[in-house]
Amino acid sequence: VISEEKYVNMGWDSAGVTTGPITVPLVLAMGLGFANATNAMDGFGLLALASIFPILSVLSVGLYVHYLQAKTTKENDYA
C-alpha cells in the first residue's frame, strides 16, 4: 500500500529465497532450541517470521529510497 510495486515484488521474491533448503532446518532447529531454553510451548511461527523479515526489510528500503528521492526533488526545487 505504501511502498512501490517493484519493491513489493522484490520483497516477496526474497521471502522465497530465505525459506530455502539450508535456512529451513537451521531456523527450525534454532527456534526449537530457543523455545526449549525459554520454556515456551513450541516454536510455532518461527518459519513465518523468517520469511516476513526479508519482505519487511525490502519494503523498508523502498520507503527509504522514496524518501531520499522526495528529499532530493525538494532540494532541487529550492535551488
Looking at the 3D structure of the chain, how many domains does it have? 1
On the 0-12 / 13-18 / 19+ scale of CB atoms within 10 A, 42 is exposed
pLDDT, tens digit, 9 for 90 and up, residues 43-68: 667 667 777 777 888 889 999 999 99
pTM score, two decimals? 0.60
User: CB neighbours of 57 closer than 8 A, spacing ≥ 6?
Assistant: 11, 14
Domain with 39, as residue range(s), is 5-78
pLDDT for 43 equals 60
